[in-house]
Amino acid sequence: MIPILAALTLVVAAQAPAPTSSAKPLTVLLAPTDVTRGTPRYLVGVAQEHVADQLKARGLEVIRVEDVTRTLPKKQRAAMMRCKRTQPSCIASLGVAAKTDVVMVTGVVPYLNGFKAGVRVYTAKDGAPLVEHSVPEVKKDQVMDALTQSLDVVVPTTLRVLRPEPVAPPTPPVVQTPQVTPGVKQPVTPVTPGIEPPTQMDLSDTARDAPKVETPGRRKWAWVPAAGGVVLAGVGTVFLVQSRSKFSDLEDKEFPTLAEADAARDSGKRSQTLGVVGIGVGAAAVAAGALMYFLPTKQTSVQPSVTLTPQGGGLSLAGTWQ
């Protein structure tokens, strides 16, 4: 039954009529050009016929103004034919009477040693100018070519504004469904006895045996305590040398007053204390840097900080490692 239904569906789809485009052709009211002194009347008539043929060849629907004014009263027809083609009210009255999309006016006027030929397009609803193009200083035998050149410019622009192309919807992804024939067994992937399928494998051993990558964060900061330790040890040595100098002064030098001797003694004690502390802290910092660099670890997060005060300085390390 399934093959028969599929065949019937294909036959019905083949006999169904193809969908037609919902976009209506653009309608153009071809209005007569303004009467200009110096332009032969026969040239104006030939230009109108040439523009009408070109518009039809491009797929546009052409309506002549004579077909519209023929049904109007005589007084209204005379007023419409005498109105100036450059006035929006005149263009709008022509467009409303013809019920078209745009109004096109052909222009052939004297220009220098020849003519200027072109076309102007207005929206029929309100008479607003839409697009225009003209070719100046052409000979009489070049007027038709100039009008064709102007239509090559104004017609695509008019279509883009009034008949924009619809945006194609995104193409849905094609999902291929497996074909299953009733009564036919589907092939099964053979499984070797004693070997578990890939979906049931125990990955714990694999994860346990995976090589461990050591992060370089701790070693990257190992130089900070080492360098700080060297600096502190150097400063401590300087203080010890100063305390030794004060001690020598107390033994060899005679002070005028007892207060000066006490000040020298206190200064020596302070220098000795700072020297011992500096060397001790510096040695500890160097040792910490060495441990940070040589001991193995997997993860580390070390944040060093240095504190300086008028009475001395300090180095601290904050972090965790395994």
**At residue 3, does pLDDT exceed 50?**
no
Domain count, the chain: 2
Amino acid letter, 217? G
Residue among 169, 142, 168 at smallest CA distance from 47: 142
Domain boundary among the residues 162, 189, 209 is at 162
Tell me 1's DSSP state: -
Question: Exposed, middle or buried: residue 33 (CB in 10 Å: 0-12, 13-18, 19+)?
Answer: buried
- Domain that includes residue 145, residue range: 24-162
Q: Over the stretch 271-322, which tens digit does the pLDDT of each residue have?
A: 888 888 888 888 888 888 777 777 765 555 555 555 545 455 555 655 554 5
Is 226 part of any domain?
yes
Whether 225 and 153 map to the same domain: the answer is no
pLDDT one-digit tens code per residue, 35-54: 677 888 889 889 999 999 99
Q: Given this model, what pLDDT does residue 80 score?
A: 72
- Name the range with the highest mean pLDDT among 111-115, 195-199, 254-258: 111-115
Mark whether 225 and 156 lie in a shared domain. Answer: no
Domain assignment present for 206: no
Residue 178 CA to residue 184 CA, distance in Å, equals: 13
Examine residue 5 and state whether it is found in any structural domain, yes or no.
no
What is the structure's pLDDT at 150? 96
In contact, 133 and 162? CB cutoff 8 Å: no
pLDDT at 50: 95
What pLDDT shows up at residue 16? 43
Q: What is the pLDDT of residue 15?
A: 45
Categorize the per-residue pLDDT at 232 as very low, low, confident or very high, splitting at 50, 70 and 90. Answer: confident
Least confident of 1-15, 55-69, 104-118: 1-15
What distance, in Å, lies between the first and last C-alpha atoms of the chain? 70
Q: Are 248 and 197 in contact (CB under 8 A)?
A: no
Task: State yes or no: pLDDT of 1 exceeds 70.
Answer: no
Share of the chain above pLDDT 70, in %: 68
Average pLDDT over residues 72-95: 78
Position 211 confidence tier, pLDDT thresholds 50, 70, 90: low
- For 176-207, how does the pLDDT look when each residue is reduced to its tens digit (9 = 90+)? 766 666 666 666 656 555 555 555 455 455 54
Query: CATH number, domain at 49?
Result: 3.40.50.10070
Statement to judge: residues 52 and 122 lie in one domain: yes
187 located within any domain? no
Residue 81 domain flag = yes
pLDDT of residue 308: 46
pLDDT at 49: 93
Distances from the Cα of 170 to the Cαs of 165, 167, 173, in angstroms? 15, 9, 9
The yes-or-no verdict on residue 216 having pLDDT over 60 is no
